[in-house]
Amino acid sequence: MDKVIIVRYCEIHLKGNNRGFFERIFVENMERALKGIKHEIRKQSGRYVIEGFESEQASYITDKVKNVFGVHTLSAAYKVSTSLDNIFEAVIKLAPVSGTFKIDTHRADKTFNMNSMQINAEIGGRLLEYNNNLRVDVHSPQAVIGIDLRENGTSLVFGNLINGVGGMPVGTAGKGMLLISGGIDSPVAGYMMAKRGMRIECIHFHSYPYTNMQAKEKVEELASVLAKYSCGTVLNVVKVTHIQEEIHKKCNGDFMVTILRRFMFRIAERLAKKCGSQCLITGESLGQVASQTIEGMTSSGSVVSKLPILRPLCGFDKNEIIERSRAMGAYEISIKPYEDCCTVFLPRHPVIHPKMRDVLEEEAKLDIEALISEALNSLEVIKI
């Protein structure tokens, strides 16, 4: 009797002619998650079976694979050569010690001399005899034990379903450049686009020495958490210290954040074009802070002319974002107390509803191109 893991996938079945492409990438992503662990992944009638691993690795493999986007559910399972005795032996291993259960048989092997209802009754009856703390409940059982008789003389016996993260395989929906800060929102924004199949590159802006090195390390940590879901990522780090000093020196201080944001978006777009990213992604949420009013987003977004800006959190409340941040394992890192560059030279009264005319007038006091080039020259690329 071999321990195996059954993996069922999400929306890939909707993809018609592209299905092969989606499935190939899905398998590659599972393989990447299991790198270094002995195993084989086989496709079997609309799902995958992972086998050939050391049995003590089963829960480790389950944990890895359930976080691969595209996975709908998984089950710990046993593969046996088809016979009632072998199947029952596996059922015993998966059955709960008490409570209610149901046996659910699917028989692809039509040559087997019992139909699925008969197998349910036979195996269910044996289990009741074996453990009299169990009861049958076919309507809402606490445990469902599945039996799948394959045509090749083997059967899969599996326990309750474990939920995967859902979504689409990363690598099936292009690539985006995530503006990542050290906060709670942007890693979640990256997670959500990766979940729809997008590969993610990151760009982070820092103001060393006004912000410290721990702030940068924190962003590296956040990018590493994101990378677990996005099949790796690249973190581009750009220094905007001089840009902030120039704004502080030459412009009305109340426009600090507005103008800095516009620089960030310009630099991000240029780098995105260079790296083959097809959009920018931010963690903005409408009305969350002064710079995320619709006027603020219009002002920062209007400097980006060639790429769309995706704001997957735009309609979320902060507590919904925090819930997602916790679920992806980023929250404890995000709340570490290091300063972001946006807090440097923070104005007492930042403009909340910036008018384009005023923004352009303030910005005209700066040599925009020279400052962008200088910032891009500071680029440090970290592969994660």
Buried/exposed code over 90-125 (b: 16+ C-beta within 10 A; e: otherwise) = bbeebbbeeebbbbbbebeeeebeeebeebbebbbe
Min CB(248)–ligand ATP separation in Å:
16
Min CB(24)–Mg ion separation in Å:
38
Considering only CA atoms, give the Rg of the chain: 27
Select the binding partner of residue 288 from ligand ATP, Mg ion, none (C-beta < 5 to 8 A, by kind): ligand ATP
List the beta strands (DSSP E) in 89-240. Answer: 99-107, 134-136, 143-149, 154-158, 162-163, 175-179, 199-206, 234-239
Select the binding partner of residue 184 from Mg ion, ligand ATP, none (C-beta < 5 to 8 A, by kind): ligand ATP
Chain positions contacting ligand ATP, by CB under 6 A: 179-181, 183-186, 203-205, 264, 282-284, 288-289, 291-292, 340-342
Query: Which one of residues 82, 105, 155, 181 is an interface residue with Mg ion (CB under 5 A)?
Result: 181
Give 5 or 219: the residue with its C-beta nearer to Mg ion.
219
Q: Which two tokens stand for residue 369?
A: 């191109």
What Cα–Cα distance (Å) separates residue 291 from each residue in 188, 248, 259?
19, 17, 10
Min CB(57)–ligand ATP separation in Å:
36
Min CB(238)–ligand ATP separation in Å:
8
Min CB(369)–ligand ATP separation in Å:
21
Instruction: Name the phi and psi angles at 57, rounded to 5.
Output: -85, -5
Min CB(292)–ligand ATP separation in Å:
6
Count the site residues for Mg ion by CB under 5 A: 3
Give 34 or 267: the residue with its C-beta nearer to ligand ATP.
267
Q: Which two tokens stand for residue 38?
A: 């002995």
| Contacts of 298 by beta carbon, 8 Å cutoff, 6+ apart | 356
Give 180 or 231: the residue with its C-beta nearer to ligand ATP.
180
- Spatial distance between the Cα atoms of 381 and 222, rounded to a whole number of angstroms: 15
Footprint of Mg ion on residues 321-340 (CB under 5 A)? 340
Comparing every residue's Cβ against Mg ion, the nearest one is 183
282 binds Mg ion (CB under 5 A): no
